[in-house]
Each structure stands twice: as structure tokens, then as C-alpha cells.
Amino acid sequence: DNTLTERIKQKYKIKNTTGYSINALVDYEDPFDIIKHLMIGSEGTLAFTSDITYHTVVDEKYKACTLMIFETIEKACEVVPMLKKTPVSAVELLDRDSIRSIEDDPEAPSYFRALPETACLLLVEIQANEQLEMNEKEAIIRKAIETYPTIQPYKFTSDPKEYNFNWKARKGLLSSIGGLRKTGTTCLIEDVAFPIDRLGDACVALKDLFKRLGYADAVLYGHALDGNFHIVFSQDFNSTSEVQKYADMMDELADIVVNKFDGSLKAEHGTGRNMAPFVEKEWGEAAYKIMLKIKDIFDPHKLINPGVIINENPKIHLENLKPLPAANEIIDKCMECGFCEPNCVAEGLTLSPRQRIVIAREISRLKALGEDPSRLKQMLNDAKYYSDETCATDGLCGLVCPVKIDTGKFIKHVRHEEASDTAKKVASYIGNRMAGTTSAARGGLNFVHFVHSILGDTLMGGIASTMRTLSLKTIPKWNKDMPKGASKIKDMVINEGQVDKVVYFPSCINRSMGKSNGYEKGDVELTKKTQELLQRAGFTIIYPEGINSLCCGMAFSSKGLKEEGARKSKELENALLKASENGKYPILFDMSPCFYTFHEAYENKNLKIYDPIEFMLDFVMPKLEIKHPRNIVTVFPVCSVKKIGMEQKLLQLAKLCSKEVAFVDTNCCGFAGDRGFTYPELNAHGQRHLNEQIPAGCKDGYSTSRTCEIGMSEYSDINFKSIFYLIDEVTK
């Protein structure tokens, strides 16, 4: 069929992922090559692909980009064919509505707000491995488009701040629309392509469609060199009229793309069920029949991902529409994109942040409707473990979420809502008796350590495991790295008379937990090690008054007992104000999670509080000489270190102390405060890839959280402890 052959070749001159990749039938003769290329992009409708090899491209050494601003979208599109002839690496188009959605960003240039309503922006990038080549490429680009006027002069920049914002503006458009949409609506993204010489007219037609149908928040942006545009808009599916509006939108969109411009309804995204009714419209009857035959050959019983790509129902895109009911303002902006999932320690064990939100929405829907009470009861029961108890609430999901949703905060809210009056009273009782609580913890740890020293690892482990099983897991899990109790802090001021003074707040965990068995012979507990280190650096050490009763509040707030957590944070703030003489002296926290908790809670900004990493790097290391650096060490940035952006400082600190540093690149370790003792499967899941990241010959790992170090020591072949020990060792 020569006509169909030519049609296929013509269609693939631009990006196209609509339907099956029937270009494989034209491009290849070997059946294996044909099958391989049909598989790619078949969305699991033909087979399951178990193994993939990626052929990567070179990451050039030098990169620079610029924002070219044109008076209209048509004029911007006129430039694209000219740019395609030059050595550009990327050309991205952003319409005026796209720019408007990001113009209030603190990093956005002020001129964004003053641009005319018709303006259009092209983000142009060049890359090379030599600076001279970069200069040559820029000159070629400027020459090629010198007759096309821009609203203002443009310049190529490699400045990290400007460069990163330019790409942040482009990549953040999905989140901009998603975050601004009305609660209960769905953020949708469509993906079309047009012949590059008709881009301007196609853009105008699409924008007219948005305006006519009332999609005021719709934005148009995309890969201009490929004629590929993304359309992002919010859609309400909660009424018949809104569903009809969406039906009209899809029908007219298909008409514009296919009939007016002979473009692609899907350029790089999957066809899915939403575009399945339009595959035949784009390709025609002959090509569509071939696609039906392909599906029948591979999947005659229609078992594999049914209804995707090939679907006989012309209204399938309007059926089985998923509601997004309001559940809680913390999570209502979630688009369920799944960007959060790689950052979640529980993903693959129980639920990811996206799945927790899906469950919360379904529970909210069932509660609102008052129907199917047995299903609601079952979901609430299952959610207790799968959603609540195995959430580390570390907040790492919020770092990568396009709309900055911290699902951990939502889970803490759930815990607060479900906390009983008894739990709140117990929290208050403990909070008012922290000195006694830490004293009891020290005594308990010393007793367990004594029994362990007599029984040994194997027998102790067996007995502890049996007791935990018999108690229905109410007794915390024991492991060989469980520390002995620490010593009580007595002195309020140490090393008096020094010019430099520091207020030292040891966390209640470090006031309770002493050394573990894996520590070096002669090592002292962290509170004493910190004293030794600060004294050698020439500091007078001041402890806040009532130190043994103080707590940052994390032990309570992480369990949803936020009132007691807030009270303890305020109590600590007052004590630190007094000890530092209203902020005169810096304040050192010896655990990053405690620092982060207090950093989020304190109100008096006169206080100069420091994470252990920053304080050591800025105040202590300049006063000490590195005398015998280690050959190799491993360091792990805990969650709070990631959230305050301290990873590079941790790496810098470690590199001062060791010739080689292995940086453990993983999520939360899964210990999550005390959950490594109460839900140890979370810790085990989080550490499943730890050992393979530790290089041969490395015998010690360092971090800034005592409980995380216990968990990492258990699931690795090395011992983890505070980085203070490393600093002390190499500077003695």
C-alpha cells in the first residue's frame, strides 16, 4: 500500500506517539527489529518489557541559556525554523499565560510583570565541551536571527542563579498550574505536535479554543524545535456540564490538530484511554486496522492493559472519571503525579506519599457520601498501619513535589486528630518530667547492656525477639548496636574564661544514649566528646538552665501530640535565650533532627542556632589543625540535613577530615525517631541498599543523628557514629 507507506513516513516527520509505532513496518524488514520497535511506547498493551538498556548522551561541560522575548507568539514561532538550522541544544516556548503563572516567583525578573499581554518567550540553550566552541555557537545563533526583533536585548548566561531560574521557570509550569487550581479540580496535561512551519497559526488556534471554552488558566508551552506543545489546564469533573465542556474541548482539540494542521494528538506522552477514541481520526481507517491486527496478534484475549491505545468505546475518555474530593488543605493540591515516590522510604514496603493521599481522598469521599460503611471501616483500619504507622514523616517528599506537599505533615495531622485524651495526658506528664524520663531511659539502657554483655549477641537476640513476638510487638526491637545509658550532665559551665563562648544543647536522645558496642576502645559518649572537642577549640561551654528537663519537642510533635511539642519547644527557646544572653552567643545542637525541629518552631530570631555540621565547619575547624586525616570514610546526610540544604557542607566537612569520602545517596534511613525500634521493617526497607554503597576498606560511617546511626550500623558492615568523633580523631 504505497499510499499508506507514504502517509506513515509523512506522519513521522514530526513527533508522534499516537497509537502503535507502525513506522516500524516501514523502517525495518527483520521481524525482530519490527517487534522491538512496536514494543517501545506500546504502554504495556503488547507485552511486558523486563530489561532495558539506555544509550546515554554526552553531558557537555559548558552550558548557557537565554530568554528571547518576542512581541507575539506568531513572531516567536517565525524564529523557530531559523534556530533549528543553528547549533542550539534546546528551544522551549512559553506563552504569556505561562510567564504569568511564574512571574510572582521571588527569583523571577521584575520585567516579567511588565510584558505585554501578547508577549511570548523562547528559552534557548547552547552546550559545548570548550568555551571557544560556546562562543562560536552563540555567534552563529545571533547572526541567524538578527533580523527578528526582540522586545529587549538578550544575553546568554551560565551564571548558576540565572541559568537555574530560567529552567526552573520552564520545568515548573506544571506545578504552577497545579498549585493554583481550585480544590476538587484535576490538573490535566495534553501533548500535541505540529509541522514546524505552521507553529504560529496552530498556537493561535489553540489559544482561541481555550478562550472560547472558558479555560482561563490554560497555558501553552513546549519543545519548539519539534513543534511539540504541552497544554496544561484544570478541569472540574463534578458536574454534567463540566464533563460536557471537557468533551467539547477534546473534540475541538482533535479537530484543530488533525483536520486543520495534520499534526499529532500525542507527541511524546502515551496515548492512554483519554486519546484512544481519536486514534482512528488521526491515522485513518487503513492504518487503524493494522493497529487492531497488531493488538490481536500479541493479545488475542485482550488481557494486557485493556482499553489503552485501542478502545472501541468512543466515549471512554468521559467515563470512569476519578473524583478528587477535598480531604485536607495540606494535600488537596496534590496532582497525583508521583514525583514524590522516589524520595519516600516506605515506597515499596507499604504506601508512597501519592498513595497515602489517594487513600485519604477515598476515605474523605466515603465519609461525605455516608455509603458503604463496611468498606470505610476496612479502609480506616488498614490505613492505620499502611498509611500512618509506616510513614517516617521525614518530609523528603515535599522537596521534590511540584506543589511542595509534605505528606509527613499530613500524617502528623492525622495522628493529632486521632490522639486520645489519655495520650495527650501521658505526653504532658512525660513532658513535665523529662529529667526523670531520661534518667529512666539511661537506667533501662544500662540494664539491657549489662544483660547483653553476659548473654552475647546470639542469645540476647533470640530472647529479645521471642519477647517481642509474645508481646505482640509492643516490646521494642533489640539490636546489637543498642547503646548503654549516658551519664547525667551536671556542670552548667565548662572551661570558663575563654573569649569564645558557645551554648551547647545536647538532645534528650544523646543525654539518654551513650556508647554502642561498635565504638572504638576509649571512646566516650557524644556529650562528653562534644565537650572535649569544644574545649580543644578554645570555647567556654554553657549549658542552658535545667538542661536535663529540656527537649526540642520532636518526640511529641512527630506523634501528633503537637500541643506538648510546641510547649517543650517554647520552654527550650526561653532557656536558650537566657543562656545565650538574648542571642549574644551561638547555640550548638548536637543532632540535626533536633536542630531542624527547633528551627521550624522558634520565634525569637535573636537566637543564633546552628546545626552540628555548620557549627563545626564555621567555628571549630578553623581553630583545629588536621594532623592525620583518614584514608576513606562514609557519610550519610539525614533527612533534616537534606531539608536545610546542608549536604554540601557535610561533604565539605568530611573532605577536610578524610582523603576520600563516600557519600551515601539514599532517602531517609527509615529509623524515623523511634520507629526503628517499634516498626523495624521500615528501617530494614530503607537500608536495603546501604551496604552496596559503602566502599571496600571503609570501616566507619558518620552522620548527625544518634538513632539513625544505630539503624545504619545494624544494616551495614561498618559502625556509624557522630561526625564529631571523626573531627576529634583527626585533629588530636
**Contacts for 273-276 with beta carbons within 8 Å, 24 or more apart?**
273/307, 273/308, 273/311, 273/316, 273/317, 274/250, 274/317, 275/18, 275/317, 276/307, 276/308, 276/309, 276/310, 276/311, 276/316, 276/317
pLDDT at 339 over 80: yes
Q: Are strands 493-494 and 120-128 parallel, antiparallel or unpaired?
A: unpaired
Helix (H) or strand (E) segment spanning residue 191: strand 186-193
**Are the C-beta atoms of 448 and 434 separated by less than 8 Å?**
no
pLDDT band at 223 (very low <50, low <70, confident <90, very high): very high
Give the domain ranges of the chain: 62-174, 341-418, 485-618, 625-731
pLDDT at 491: 78
Name every residue whose Cβ is closer than 8 Å to that of residue 382 and which is 6 or more positions away in sequence: none
Q: Quick check: helix, strand or coil at residue 482? A: coil
Q: Which amino acid is at 461?
A: G
pLDDT band at 490 (very low <50, low <70, confident <90, very high): confident
Q: Which amino acid is at 318?
A: L
pLDDT digits (tens, 9 = 90+) for 677-691: 999 999 999 999 999
**What is the average per-residue pLDDT within 343-362?**
96
Cell digits of residue 114: 511588565
pLDDT digits (tens, 9 = 90+) for 494-520: 999 999 999 999 999 999 999 888 888
pLDDT at 261: 97
pLDDT digits (tens, 9 = 90+) for 365-401: 999 988 889 999 999 999 999 999 999 999 999 998 8
pLDDT at 200 over 80: yes
Q: Quick check: helix, strand or coil at residue 153? A: coil
**Are the C-beta atoms of 284 and 208 separated by less than 8 Å?**
no
pLDDT digits (tens, 9 = 90+) for 609-625: 999 999 999 999 999 99
pLDDT at 169: 80
pLDDT band at 343 (very low <50, low <70, confident <90, very high): very high
pLDDT at 342 over 90: yes
Query: Are domains 62-174 and 485-618 of this chain identical in fold?
Result: no
pLDDT over 70, % of the chain: 100
pLDDT at 176 over 90: no
pLDDT over 90, % of the chain: 80
Structurally, at CATH architecture level, domain 62-174 sits in 2-Layer Sandwich (3.30)
pLDDT digits (tens, 9 = 90+) for 7-30: 999 999 999 999 999 999 999 999
pLDDT band at 583 (very low <50, low <70, confident <90, very high): very high
Cell digits of residue 110: 521584575
pLDDT at 610: 97
C-alpha span between 580 and 125 (Å, rounded):
51
pLDDT at 177 over 80: no
DSSP 726: H
C-alpha span between 133 and 341 (Å, rounded):
40
C-alpha span between 107 and 114 (Å, rounded):
15
Q: Are strands 500-505 and 587-589 parallel, antiparallel or unpaired?
A: parallel
pLDDT at 172 over 80: no
pLDDT at 248: 97
**What is the average per-residue pLDDT within 597-606?**
95
Rounded to two decimals, what is the model's pTM? Answer: 0.86
How many C-beta neighbours within 10 Å does residue 28 have? 15
**Are the C-beta atoms of 336 and 353 separated by less than 8 Å?**
no
Residues in the chain: 732
List the end-to-end C-alpha distance of the chain, in Å, as a whole number: 83
- Distance from the Cα of residue 3 to its chain's centroid: 49
pLDDT band at 322 (very low <50, low <70, confident <90, very high): confident
pLDDT at 238: 86
pLDDT at 205: 96
pLDDT at 666: 77
pLDDT at 403 over 90: no
pLDDT at 79 over 90: yes
Q: Which amino acid is at 22?
A: I
Q: Spelled out in words, what is the top-level CATH class assigned to the domain 485-618?
A: alpha beta
Cell digits of residue 530: 562534644
**What is the average per-residue pLDDT within 423-431?**
94
